Structure 1
Amino acid sequence: MAVPAPLELAAVTKRYGATVAVDAIDLKIPAGTYCCLLGPSGCGKSSTLRMIAGHESVSEGDIVLGAANVTDLPPAQRGTAMMFQSYALFPHLSVLDNVAFPLKMRGIDKAARYAKAQDLLALVAMDRYAARLPAQLSGGQQQRVALARALITEPQILLLDEPLSALDPFLRVRMRAELKRLQRELGITFIHVTHGQEEALALADLMVLMNGGKIEQQGRPRDVFNAPRTEFVARFMGGHNVIRTPGGALGVRTDHLRLTPLDGAERLARVTEVEYQGAWVHVSLTGEDGGDLIALLPEAVFDAAPVTSGDRVGVGWDPAAAQPLA
């Protein structure tokens, strides 16, 4: 495989007419990082990925891979490879020929490209399916073939556009682990676009959360989840209550919200729903200010002081667990 290289986006902007899809973002991705671009539809994550790939032109700014400014280079000269959401396999070609195809386009002789394709099919545990056509494969198997084909050109960076979205939930979790294993083994940078918070938390070394064409917050997944800086981050990541106070908004994780007796409670709420979720009990509440709250309680804690829909309770939290939000 190619030597991994860092990637830097410097004030990168993408405009479609009067619409600004990506707004002067700065981003540094160290070599060998699994980076997830995360955010709601229309936030600019896919446009950013396509600009890195060279499939969209950059309106302003620079994309630097290693020591080379690749902003204006065609996709084949960038040292990147892209795995598309649809997999885009050729239906009339065998699995082996699909994987070998990029080397055929580079004029590599048949024996050499087949040998390399077989090696990559073995890497993704698809070597015994080499003679099959794509229509004879499951969705997860097609994804593995598309992954092998993207890797055959030995890219410094692999770009993945929502690669798990077409899979059923069970297979999605399995392929998630497979992607992480491959990235570790290969040592190259993966940049993975997703709208799934759980997917990004599980995979990323670096999480980049986008909103309205800008980077809202970036960092290690644990840091972004535990210390959201804005209301948008707290709400999008989930697992947080946004609580209004005289001093501004606070983010309190749902598993840090406590139910307390009414006597002496600083805040009151009414229970609206109780859902048993195994090890946890999910208690939905409406605060006195009308805001929605959630308390995620360990089963034993709930059982020690059970509540039901309609009950009035106090709510509280450890001040150290509250995160100020912009």
Structure 2
Amino acid sequence: MPNPAALELVALSKRYGATTAVDAIDLRIAAGTYCCLLGPSGCGKSSTLRMIAGHEAASEGDIILGNQNVTDLPPARRGTAMMFQSYALFPHLTVIDNVAFALKMRGVDKATRRRRASELLDLVAMTPYAGRLPTQLSGGQQQRVALARALITEPQILLLDEPLSALDPFLRIKMRAELKRLQRELGITFIHVTHGQEEAMALADLVVLMNGGRIEQMGSPREVFNRPRTAFVARFIGGHNVIDTSSGAIAVRADKLALRPAESGPGIAGTVTDVEYQGTFVQVVVKSEAGEELIAHLGEAAFDARPVAVGDGVTATWDGAEAHVLE
């Protein structure tokens, strides 16, 4: 594989008529990083990925890969490869011919392209299936073939558009580990679009959370989770309560919220509306007197020591040191 390249987006925008999908974003992704573009539908993450790939023209701004401005280059000359959500395998070609296809288009001789395709099938543990057609493969196997096909051009950056969304939950977790292993072994930059917070937290070195065409916050998964900058980040990442106080909004992690009997000192009084056992913790939902919904994640021992049920009055409290002030 070639040396990984750093990617820089400079004031990058994408407009569709009067609609601004991506609004002058600046982003630098260090070489060899696993970056997840995260956010709700319509936030601009897929448009950003397609502009990096060259499948969408940038309305304004620059895309710099390594020391080259690739903004106006066609996809094949950018040093990137795209793995699509649908995998887009050719149904009439065998697995090995699907993987080798890009090299065939470049005029590489059959023996060389098949040797290289075999190496990549070995990398993704698909060698026994080399002679099969895509319809004879499971979803996870098709994904491995699509990965091998994307990697055969030796890209400096691999772009992945919701690659796990078509898989069942168990396989999604398994393939998540596979993607991380591959990225580590190859040492190249992966840019992965997802709307799944858990997926981004598990995979990314760098999480870029987008909202309304702009970057709301970026950083390591721990930074973004533990220090959300805005109420949007706290709510989207999950696991936080956004609470309005007299001095402004704060975020308190659900596992840092404690529940006391009603009328037991300072805190937010409310009524339990839901109790769910989640294995390692019990999730308790409380509706405050002001109509706000608060969520507490209580360890089993803590819940068993002071159990609550739907309809009980409680007071939600937290340690002041656990409250994170939001912008």
TM-score by length of 1: 0.99
In structure 2, the residue matched to 1:269 is 270
- Which region of structure 1 is more displaced relative to structure 2, 243-252 or 142-151? 243-252
Structure 1 outlier segments of 4+, above 4 Å: none
Matches of 1:304 and 1:188, distance apart in 2: 50
Structure 1 counterpart SS, 2:85: coil
Could you report, residue by residue, the CA deviation over 1:31-55 in whole angstroms, capped at 9, with x for unpaired residues? 0000000000000000000000000
In structure 1, the residue matched to 2:282 is 281
Matched, 1:203 2:237: no
Post-superposition shift, 1:267?
Answer: 2.4
Post-superposition shift, 1:278?
Answer: 1.8
* Equivalence map 1:83-102=2 (5 Å): 83-102=83-102
In structure 1, the residue matched to 2:184 is 184
Could you report, residue by residue, the CA deviation over 1:15-41 in whole angstroms, capped at 9, with x for unpaired residues? 111110000000000000000000000
Percent identity of equivalent pairs: 74
In structure 2, the residue matched to 1:172 is 172
Q: What amino acid maps onto 2:301 in structure 1?
A: A
Matched, 1:217 2:212: no
Matches of 2:272 and 2:233, distance apart in 1: 26
Could you report, residue by residue, the CA deviation over 1:44-95 in whole angstroms, capped at 9, with x for unpaired residues? 0000000000000011000000000000000000000000001010000000
* Equivalence map 1:35-184=2 (5 Å): 35-184=35-184
Structure 2 counterpart SS, 1:90: coil
In structure 1, the residue matched to 2:303 is 302
Matches of 2:277 and 2:37, distance apart in 1: 33
Matches of 1:81 and 1:277, distance apart in 2: 40
Post-superposition shift, 1:279?
Answer: 2.0
Matches of 1:321 and 1:264, distance apart in 2: 18
Could you report, residue by residue, the CA deviation over 1:219-257 in whole angstroms, capped at 9, with x for unpaired residues? 001110111011110111111111111111111010000
Post-superposition shift, 1:101?
Answer: 0.3
RMSD across aligned positions (CA): 0.7
Structure 1 counterpart SS, 2:97: helix
Q: What amino acid maps onto 1:26 in structure 2?
A: D
Structure 1 counterpart SS, 2:64: strand
Post-superposition shift, 1:272?
Answer: 1.2
TM-score by length of 2: 0.99
Post-superposition shift, 1:260?
Answer: 1.9
In structure 2, the residue matched to 1:320 is 321
Unaligned runs of 5+ in 2: none
In structure 1, the residue matched to 2:252 is 252
In structure 1, the residue matched to 2:291 is 290
The count of aligned residue pairs is 326
Q: What amino acid maps onto 1:137 in structure 2?
A: L
Cα–Cα, structure 1 residues 37 and 114, in superposed 2: closer, same or farther, change >3 Å? same
Matches of 2:158 and 2:242, distance apart in 1: 36
Post-superposition shift, 1:152?
Answer: 0.2
Post-superposition shift, 1:194?
Answer: 0.3
Structure 1 counterpart SS, 2:222: helix
Post-superposition shift, 1:115?
Answer: 0.2
Matches of 1:129 and 1:256, distance apart in 2: 49
Matches of 2:281 and 2:294, distance apart in 1: 16
Matches of 2:279 and 2:194, distance apart in 1: 28
Unaligned runs of 5+ in 1: none
Post-superposition shift, 1:265?
Answer: 3.0
- Which region of structure 1 is more displaced relative to structure 2, 255-264 or 126-135? 255-264
- Which region of structure 1 is more displaced relative to structure 2, 101-110 or 305-314? 305-314
Structure 1 counterpart SS, 2:308: coil
Matches of 1:312 and 1:251, distance apart in 2: 23
